[in-house]
Amino acid sequence: MEAIGKFFAYVILLVVSTVISGLVLMKLWAWFIAGTFGVIELNLVQSIGLSFVVHFLTAKMPKKDEDEDFEDLIYGFFYSLAYSGIAILFGWILSAFL
């Protein structure tokens, strides 16, 4: 039963972090890429898809010293949230100078 709960928590965290990353990419694209190069702005689905493509092209095989436990998953989720928050904050600050 505990394994099922961890699985659903993993799926929920994955969906939430994917949507947040997509939102951040969408805003950063609108601020810096669309205006600079005269291309269209991305919608949420396009930005999530682009994020998947970039991740696919740049992903590295993780080292498997030991099994990933649930605490590592939670740490990774909050790291992703913090990284997204910092990216959108600095992007917003920089966009004020455009």
Establish if 48 belongs to a structural domain.
Answer: yes
Q: State how many domains the chain has.
A: 1
Please state the rounded mean pLDDT for residues 47-60. Answer: 88
The letter for the amino acid at 86 is I
91 located within any domain: yes
Q: pLDDT tens digits for 6-51? A: 889 889 998 999 999 999 999 999 999 998 999 999 999 999 999 9
Name the token pair of 26.
């969408």
In a domain, 76, yes or no: yes
Q: Is 38 left (phi over 0), alpha (psi -120 to 50) or beta?
A: left
Q: Flag whether 57 is in a domain.
A: no
Q: Does 2 fall in a domain? A: no
Give the range of the structural domain holding residue 77, as residue numbers without chain letter.
Answer: 13-52+70-98
Q: Please check whether residue 3 lies inside any domain of the structure.
A: no
